[in-house]
Amino acid sequence: MKQFRDRTAVITGAASGIGLELARRAAAEGMNLVLADIEATRLDAAAATLGLPAERLLLQRTDVSQESQVAALADAAFARFGGVHLLCNNAGVGLTRVTWELSTADWEWVLGVDLWSVIHGVQHFVPRMLKQAEGGHVVNTSSVAGLLSTPGMAAYNVAKHGVVTLSETLYGELRAAKANIGVSLLCPAWVPTAIHESARNRPDRFGEAKPAAGLSAAYDERMDQAVKSGRLTATDMANEVFTAVMEDRFYVIPHRKINNAIQLRMDDIMNLRNPTPLG
């Protein structure tokens, strides 16, 4: 996708972190913006910092884990701007616990926001994007957690691995269909955002996660520190995404130091070796 000006971007999880920086970059490129987030107040405040005229902006409170709300978002976006050219399925939450301490509610919350959201995004936007003459591009935010199996993050890992294979499958199918729609997969490592405060967005119906203790608490603390000390910023992620979209490049893996860990996992698989612990 080469042309952004006067085209329309839909970005989920746009009230904070990487989503907000994607929105900032899309605004700078002259796009119309449809911004969605579960946190309406924070979304309003974030959008106000973009300095966009009202006619180029649509804000919609959306819980992306709910199909009806993603469908409503698509309806609103196409009705308002007549097309959607850049779809960023970006909203996400994290939860750190050892696998045997994750409750069903924990799994459902994380898989809902991190995996079902992307499924619903593809279901409700791509068929309509296929009908537009201008084509478009889908950006799915996964994580290096979608390429590795970091301890303490089973629900997140499962969701993000799901986003990787969903995106790879979608890419192949769109090529087979000779569709004018690109796909990019963003897999960041640690980026200082509000991801470690994800519990703020856990709906009441799931109850609270049990407090982390022992190994879960140690992993949680390590995660917190890793996110806070991330060297690359959310702005860097947005810039990498836009470069990839312009180049029609699929894999966006900004933290290149992670390559060794990816290679190690692949070597373990190819050599039928037991998984090398990641720490």
Ligand X SMILES: NC(=O)c1ccc[n+]([C@@H]2O[C@H](COP(=O)([O-])OP(=O)(O)OC[C@H]3O[C@@H](n4cnc5c(N)ncnc54)[C@H](O)[C@@H]3O)[C@@H](O)[C@H]2O)c1
**Active centre residues (catalytic):** 156
Among residues 38, 77, 164, 181, the one that binds ligand X under rule CB under 6 A: 38
The single-letter code of the amino acid at 67 is: E
Q: Tell me how far, at minimum, the Cβ of 255 lies from ligand X, in Å.
A: 9
Among residues 8, 32, 60, 62, the one that binds ligand X under rule CB under 6 A: 62
Q: Tell me how far, at minimum, the Cβ of 56 lies from ligand X, in Å.
A: 20
Asked if 86 and 97 touch (Cβ cutoff 8 Å), the reply is no
Measured over the CA atoms of residue 144, residue 253, residue 192 and residue 141, the dihedral's sign is negative
Among residues 1, 8, 16, 212, the one that binds ligand X under rule CB under 6 A: 16
Rounded to whole angstroms, the Cα distance separating 223 from 192 reads 11
Q: Which is nearer to ligand X, 126 or 187 (CB)?
A: 187
Centre a 10 Å sphere on the Cβ of residue 254 and count the other Cβ atoms it contains: 19
Q: Tell me how far, at minimum, the Cβ of 159 lies from ligand X, in Å.
A: 8
Provide the β-strand partners of residue 58: 34
Query: First CA to last CA across the chain, in angstroms?
Result: 39
Based on the shown chain and the rule CB under 6 A, indicate whether residue 12 belongs to the binding site for ligand X: yes
Name, in order, each residue with C-beta under 8 angstroms of 156's C-beta and a sequence gap of 6 or more: 94, 95, 96, 110, 114, 143, 145
Among residues 97, 201, 216, 245, the one that binds ligand X under rule CB under 6 A: 201
Q: How many residues lie near ligand X (CB under 6 A)?
A: 32
Rounded to whole angstroms, the Cα distance separating 132 from 173 reads 17
Using CB under 6 A, which residues numbered 65 to 124 contact ligand X? 65, 90-93, 113
Based on the shown chain and the rule CB under 6 A, indicate whether residue 194 belongs to the binding site for ligand X: yes
Q: What is the DSSP letter of 44?
A: H
Could you tell me the CA-to-CA distances from 186 to 100, 130, 242 in Å, in that order? 29, 22, 11
Q: Tell me how far, at minimum, the Cβ of 219 lies from ligand X, in Å.
A: 15
- Of 16-24, 72-80, 210-218, 238-246, the segment contacting ligand X by CB under 6 A is 16-24
Q: Tell me how far, at minimum, the Cβ of 171 lies from ligand X, in Å.
A: 19
Among residues 152, 182, 188, 254, the one that binds ligand X under rule CB under 6 A: 188
Based on the shown chain and the rule CB under 6 A, indicate whether residue 140 belongs to the binding site for ligand X: no
Rounded to whole angstroms, the Cα distance separating 226 from 203 reads 26
Based on the shown chain and the rule CB under 6 A, indicate whether residue 64 belongs to the binding site for ligand X: yes
Asked if 31 and 11 touch (Cβ cutoff 8 Å), the reply is no
Based on the shown chain and the rule CB under 6 A, indicate whether residue 32 belongs to the binding site for ligand X: no
**Applying CB under 6 A, which residues contact ligand X?**
12-13, 15-19, 37-39, 62-65, 90-93, 113, 141, 143, 188, 190-191, 193-195, 198, 201, 227, 230, 234
